Amino acid sequence: MNWDHVRFFLAVAEHGTVSGAAVALGVSHATVLRNVARLEAVLDTRLFDHAQSGYRLTLTGQDILTEVRQMAECADALVKKLQDRDRLAAGRLTLAMPDSSLVNLLPVVSRFCTEYPQIEVAMVDDTGNNEADVLLRVTDQPPEQLIGRQLARLDFAIFAKPDVVPPSADKCRWIIWQNRLSNDEAVSRQERWLRRITPEPAVVLNAESHARAVEAVRSGLGAALLVDRGADMDLTRLAFPHRPVTQGLWMLTSAGYRGSARVSAFMQFVAENLQKKPS
């Protein structure tokens, strides 16, 4: 049963006329009639008799009126509860996080939890379904249905294990990696980039993620284009000539959460506290 249909039934029952219900609900006369008719079709019974003085409830309509009023009270209470929760910076906030080897945002999230103990942050992997309250995503093409801002640009560089540094790009064994949100795009972009620095790159591993590529490079399997995290990298940056490679770090949310105090508090805190180059 569609609650909208029930709502129209209740409005007609309380106002006694379709025009009165239409004014109260801010809709047209036809919209009220259409929704009442749909409810009668679902219930397979007539709920009103149309008299000269207005609409009178049938016996069936009278029988369900008390229950419908109780439903309306419950619905109003639920709406008020949700509105009150969104006006307060409190409650549960679901945060979709990127691969931690790409960017480590835990220090900022930890500080947020300290400053806002009334907000419970539930961190989940970003699987691309865009259902979390806030998404922190490494991309240059954020989904059109989400709103937000770019927090930073992540720099990439070529890295290898210190004791297996190849003499040139042509002599290098290469590792490429996938992005679970856009596998084909990530791989093809790396392959195009490799061909700019060596005509026939010897790709020895296609890793399932950036984190797996980092592990493979540390094992000495080959070199890869990885996020440059400065002093945190225990690898050697290779000086092969290549064009700079960067990618955006975006903080996103659904337009439906625009008025949520907890979402606004989190997004503002992260934007103010995240360094230009997150560690």
User: What dihedral angle (degrees, nearest 10) is formed by the CA atoms of 116, 120, 124, 130?
Assistant: -80
Residue 104: helix, strand or coil by DSSP? Answer: coil
Cα–Cα distances in angstroms (integers) from residue 60 to residues 14, 55, 57, 73, in the given order: 15, 14, 8, 21
For the chain, the domain total comes to: 2
Report the greatest alpha carbon distance in the chain: 96
108 and 93 in a common domain? yes
125 and 76 in a common domain? no
Q: How far apart are CA 32 and CA 19, in angstroms?
A: 8
More confident residue, 3 or 259: 3
Quick one: which of 167, 219, 232, 231 has its CA closest to 198? 167
110 and 45 in a common domain? no
pLDDT above 70: percentage of residues in the chain: 90
Place of tokens 């907890």: 262
Last residue within a domain, chosen from 87, 122, 144: 87
Q: What is the CATH number of the domain that holds 135?
A: 3.40.190.290
Is the predicted pLDDT of residue 279 greater than 50, yes or no? Answer: no
Last residue within a domain, chosen from 30, 62, 87: 87
17 and 29 in a common domain? yes
pLDDT of residue 220: 94
DSSP string, 168-216: SGGG-EEEEE--TTSHHHHHHHHHHHHHHH-SS-EEEEEESSHHHHHHH
13 and 35 in a common domain? yes
> pLDDT tens digit string along 29-87?
899 999 899 989 989 999 998 887 788 899 998 988 988 888 888 877 776 665 555 55
Last residue within a domain, chosen from 70, 87, 104: 87
156 and 139 in a common domain? yes
More confident residue, 267 or 183: 267
117 and 64 in a common domain? no
Q: How far is residue 109 CA from its own chain's centroid? A: 17
pLDDT of residue 85: 53
pLDDT of residue 78: 72
Q: What is the CATH number of the domain that holds 81?
A: 1.10.10.10
144 and 24 in a common domain? no
pLDDT of residue 258: 66
Cα–Cα distances in angstroms (integers) from residue 195 to residues 185, 192, 242, in the given order: 16, 5, 10
User: What backbone phi and psi angles, to 5 degrees, belong to 239?
Assistant: -95, 30
Is the predicted pLDDT of residue 88 greater than 60, yes or no? Answer: no
Q: Sorting pLDDT into bands at 50, 70 and 90, what band is 278?
A: very low
Quick one: which of 172, 154, 178 has its CA closest to 238? 172
Amino acid identity, position 142:
P
235 and 121 in a common domain? yes
239 and 211 in a common domain? yes
More confident residue, 135 or 257: 135
272 and 157 in a common domain? yes
Q: How far apart are CA 206 and CA 209, in angstroms?
A: 9
Over residues 19-25, the mean pLDDT reads: 89
Question: For residue 91, is it left (φ>0), alpha (ψ between -120 and 50) or beta?
Answer: left
Q: Could you tell me whether strands 223-227 and 146-160 are parallel, antiparallel, or unpaired per DSSP bridges?
A: antiparallel
> pLDDT tens digit string along 172-228?
999 999 876 665 667 778 888 888 888 889 999 999 899 999 999 999 999 999 999
This prediction's pTM: 0.62
Is the predicted pLDDT of residue 103 greater than 60, yes or no? Answer: yes
**Domain range for residue 37?**
3-87
246 and 159 in a common domain? yes
Of the candidate ranges 86-95, 116-125, 137-146, the one whose mean pLDDT is the lowest? 86-95
